[in-house]
Structure 1
Amino acid sequence: MSSSSIVLSSPEELLAAVPHLVGHYPQESLVVITIHDTAAAPQLGVTVRMDLHTPDVLLWHAREHLAGVLDRKGVDELVLVVISADSEDGVTPPHADVVRGMTHVLEEAGFPTRHALWTREIRAGAVWRSYTHPDFAGTLPDPQASVAAAEFAVEGAVTYGSRDELAALVAPPADVDRTARAAQIDAVVDWGADLGDQEGLRQDCRTVLGAIRRTQDDAALVDDELVQLAAALADVRVRDFALMASCGAAAIAAQQLWLTLIRFVPDPEVPDIACLVAFTAQLHGEGGLASVALERAIAIEPDHTLTNLLRRAIGAGIPPEALTSIAEEAAAEVFDILGEPLGIGED
């Protein structure tokens, strides 16, 4: 799920914006886009992408989850977009039963559908058609040259070629001795326990800040530094501090650091690092990356508290400023113990 305040004026522009709104070029997907301020200049709001499952699964999702999310967003209208190569003749929009069912369920919940559109794929020259008006059709412009592409580029967001590309960013490399790495991290954690709680916490928080600042300076961390960082983040208080340290101007560098670390650590450390990846990704509109990071965390530890908190918050379309408030609350205990902000927000 992602959100945007982009103003678009035609179905072609809207379809070309879809990859940038969801963070990747989707395939076999149903995308729901909210429209706001239709009386003035219509703006795009929340975007939700779902796999094209069987109709009953999608309709259950619409009733049990999607309608509640949209109800909190002041939605005026919706646009449904199906991206699917299932059309038998390449002309007739497939999955019409899904579109009819979704339109009915969402209209019952008070959300009228302005357009229901289909295309085989999001690329320049691809044909698109309407489900409700057979003569309403056209071809897509280049998504990479679209208004949305320019807007998201300014914000520093990245649009990936596929969801598999996103998943690869948080997947473990195959050629690493993860058992040995786990032993190294455990050894550093054990050594840190001898420092005492307050001094150990202070040192671990400074390790986090130092790693983020080195990343901001384009300095790659060596393995020993990544081990130290992973060991520091084994303390959930330090992880919560890292959420706050990742806000503001540090968010992009912090995300780069957490993406490096999630591929470095063994599985037991992944859920906490995945939450940091998801948090920083969501801060600047990369909902697709946030989603795959949280999926990896859930696969390892289904009951991980922060993972499930972030899934609910992101699924509800919580804005970045509210995420920052969550980070501030999470870091409050650390500041209470240390009695200082440790330079967060300083240049």
Structure 2
Amino acid sequence: MSEARLVLRSMSEVVAAVPHFLGVHPQESLVVVPEVTGDTPVARVNLPRDAAQSAAVAEGLARAYAGTGVGVVLLAYTEHSGLARQVCETVRERLEPAVAVIGAVAVDGVDWVRLDGPHRGQVSQSERDLMTAEFLLRGRPTPFASPEQLRQAYASSHPIPQEHMDIGADRAATAARGGPAGHAEREWITATLDRAAAGHTVLPDPDAARLISDVQHVPLRDHAWASMERDTASRHAELWRDLLTRSPDDPTSPASPDSPKSPVPAVAPVASLTAFAHWLDGDAVKARVALDRIPPGTSYQMARLVNLALEVGMNPRAWTPRDDFAGSQPDESLREESQRRPSVGQGQAIREPPKPPDGCGRDGPPR
């Protein structure tokens, strides 16, 4: 993910910073850290297990970092030093000379060893504390200990009482038809999102139910979508993540615009908005976890488009918010921008956990 520029003075500090960049302590992963953080993202990919996978990953990373003008450090998180060396060598061969590899490192817990030199070391508690303090000052939470712990933070934990959802659904259905009720609801959405993003507010059940119900309808969802900007994306992401853990799992939403006869689970638009906010913040790791909350077999266009942006490595800086997308469909603008980007190999790049080969969630059909 992208961060304001951070000066890292040693390899131990680089290793200590990685969990904060990703939001989770990586396991069996290849992580790419640019020598100048800020404009260029940190990437993570599942550690390849054979030559073909390594070549695909190398191709995706080469495309992602082409033209950035910065060198990178490769960090292989595994206890298997031979695998770490093979993967880093394959990636280095593909990246150079266009992208300079200024370091290749195998990391096992707090221990690290250079694969391109004699140096080795161990991340000290003081270095971990320093990075924790640095990222807290930047408004970043403490990283999750494992991918499983990260997934649990997006799981359903305290669904909103059904009586609140029923009231919200009735109001949203009226507002979605437009007119004065629709205008008033859009103003409420704007005020609620601005207030929550500014103050890290957790919405009370009635307001949470109202917002969840609103975004089941595409016009109201698009209004919420259009409100997101990069400088407040992390706060929007946390708001929508909280709503995702409180959304009912039952298919109580209107029929899918992609498949009109099929009702959409209420989590689909909420998960899609959560994922988009994370992507806009440069956090592809959490964006994929949010998308995985969508039940298998669900057809939902926004989820597919956010997934496409992740697949092709679309730069969040390319996103330009519009006032309800100036009358155009937001999915069209996202699709057009993502199609300008190369897609070869990016299915393997900048992600956690791995994307299912053909599906939505763990094993379903395409979103």
Superposition TM-score tier, normalisation by shorter sequence: 0.7 to 0.9
CA contact (8 A) 1:172 1:262 kept: yes
Instruction: Assess, with a 3 A threshold, how the Cα gap between structure 1 residues 320 and 43 changes in structure 2: closer, same or farther.
Output: closer
Match of 1:306 in 2: 302
Offset of 1:251 from its aligned partner?
Answer: 4.3
Match of 1:76 in 2: 70
Q: 1:67 aligns with which of 46, 62, 70?
A: 62
CA contact (8 A) 1:96 1:131 kept: yes
1:162 and 2:146 matched:
yes
Match of 1:51 in 2: 46
Match of 1:104 in 2: 93
Match of 2:208 in 1: 226
Q: Distance in 1 between matches of 2:274 and 2:318?
A: 17
CA contact (8 A) 2:274 2:287 kept: yes
Q: Distance in 2 between matches of 1:94 and 1:44?
A: 30
TM-score, with structure 1 as normaliser: 0.74
CA contact (8 A) 1:251 1:280 kept: yes
Instruction: Assess, with a 3 A threshold, how the Cα gap between structure 1 residues 31 and 224 changes in structure 2: closer, same or farther.
Output: same
Q: 1:322 aligns with which of 312, 318, 325?
A: 318
Offset of 1:255 from its aligned partner?
Answer: 3.0
TM-score, with structure 2 as normaliser: 0.71
Q: Distance in 2 between matches of 1:101 and 1:248?
A: 34
Instruction: Assess, with a 3 A threshold, how the Cα gap between structure 1 residues 51 and 206 changes in structure 2: closer, same or farther.
Output: same
Name the % identity: 24
Instruction: Assess, with a 3 A threshold, how the Cα gap between structure 1 residues 48 and 330 changes in structure 2: closer, same or farther.
Output: farther
Q: 2:104 aligns with which of 116, 126, 142?
A: 116
Residue type of the partner of 2:290? A
Q: Distance in 1 between matches of 2:45 and 2:150?
A: 16
Pairs within 5 Å for 1:224-303 = 224-247=206-229, 251-267=233-249, 268-297=265-294, 299=296, 301=298
Residue type of the partner of 1:66? L
CA contact (8 A) 1:106 1:112 kept: yes
CA contact (8 A) 2:230 2:281 kept: no
1:153 and 2:101 matched:
no
Match of 2:335 in 1: none
Cα-to-partner distance string for 1:201-226 (whole Å, 9 max, x where unaligned):
31331332343355355664343332
Instruction: Assess, with a 3 A threshold, how the Cα gap between structure 1 residues 44 and 16 changes in structure 2: closer, same or farther.
Output: farther
Instruction: Assess, with a 3 A threshold, how the Cα gap between structure 1 residues 275 and 47 changes in structure 2: closer, same or farther.
Output: same
Q: Distance in 1 between matches of 2:162 and 2:276?
A: 28
Residue type of the partner of 1:207? W
Cα-to-partner distance string for 1:254-312 (whole Å, 9 max, x where unaligned):
333212211222342223212322233344454432231133348563x5333333334
What runs of 5+ residues in structure 1 fail to find an aligned partner?
A: 37-41, 335-347
1:19 and 2:19 matched:
yes
Cα-to-partner distance string for 1:26-55 (whole Å, 9 max, x where unaligned):
11111122335xxxxx98832111112422
Match of 1:137 in 2: 120
CA contact (8 A) 1:281 1:289 kept: yes
Larger radius of gyration: 1
> Bigger CA drift: 313-322 or 109-118?
313-322
**What secondary structure does 1:95 align onto?**
helix
**What secondary structure does 1:45 align onto?**
coil
Q: Distance in 2 between matches of 1:112 and 1:254?
A: 35
Aligned length: 309
Instruction: Assess, with a 3 A threshold, how the Cα gap between structure 1 residues 119 and 217 changes in structure 2: closer, same or farther.
Output: closer
1:197 and 2:165 matched:
no
CA contact (8 A) 1:23 1:287 kept: no
CA contact (8 A) 1:240 1:330 kept: yes
More helix by share: 1
Instruction: Assess, with a 3 A threshold, how the Cα gap between structure 1 residues 12 and 298 changes in structure 2: closer, same or farther.
Output: farther
Residue type of the partner of 1:110? A
Residue type of the partner of 2:102? R
Offset of 1:168 from its aligned partner?
Answer: 1.8
CA RMSD, 1 decimal: 3.4
Cα-to-partner distance string for 1:197-249 (whole Å, 9 max, x where unaligned):
23343133133234335535566434333222122112222222212334377
Q: Distance in 2 between matches of 1:176 and 1:81?
A: 39
Instruction: Assess, with a 3 A threshold, how the Cα gap between structure 1 residues 306 and 4 changes in structure 2: closer, same or farther.
Output: farther
Instruction: Assess, with a 3 A threshold, how the Cα gap between structure 1 residues 257 and 34 changes in structure 2: closer, same or farther.
Output: closer
Q: Distance in 2 between matches of 1:229 and 1:35?
A: 41
Residue type of the partner of 1:81? L
Residue type of the partner of 2:273? L
Offset of 1:7 from its aligned partner?
Answer: 2.7
CA contact (8 A) 2:29 2:77 kept: yes
